[in-house]
Amino acid sequence: MTKTLKELVFSLEPLSYYFNMKPDEFWNCEYRYINTFLKTNMVRLLDDFKIQILLQEAVTDKLIKADSMSKRPKVIPLKKMFSKLFKEEPKIKIQSPEEQIARLRKFK
């Protein structure tokens, strides 16, 4: 389903107001600014959510997944429950000075 630019802008309006953008700011700026504003606020919101999960995990460490009448409840760590938020980021390999020199000599 293809949306026109007008429909897209109108669909972004409530979300921008939620993130404290004023109506005159919304209607007087470019689409790319609105898009960047919303993306950065969504990243901030996800980061706040991650921090809250980590704080709760420090206190409780687990969620119990079961009914109140269940005989065998499952205990699940919070990080496992929200695994999509805590994906492993690729680790940056730190090179020693010798490795850097050897690598730079290959370019000569």
The tens digit of pLDDT for each residue in 46-95 reads 889 888 888 887 777 666 666 677 777 777 777 777 788 877 766 777 88
The pLDDT tens digits of the residues spanning 19-47 come to 889 989 889 988 888 889 999 999 999 88
Kind plus residue range of the DSSP H or E element containing 64: strand 62-65
Residue spans of the domains in the chain: they are 5-87
Give the other-Cβ count within 10 Å of 21's Cβ. Answer: 19
What letter represents residue 1's amino acid? M
Over 60: is that where the pLDDT of 1 sits? no
Total residue length of the chain = 108
Q: What is the largest CA-CA distance in the chain?
A: 72
- pTM assigned to the model: 0.56
Return the CA Rg of the chain. 23
What's the pLDDT score for residue 40? Answer: 92
pLDDT of residue 44: 92
CA distance 91 to 83: 18
Q: Six-digit token pair at 79? A: 């990080």
- Phi then psi for residue 76, to 5 deg, are -120, 130
Coil, helix or strand at residue 84: coil
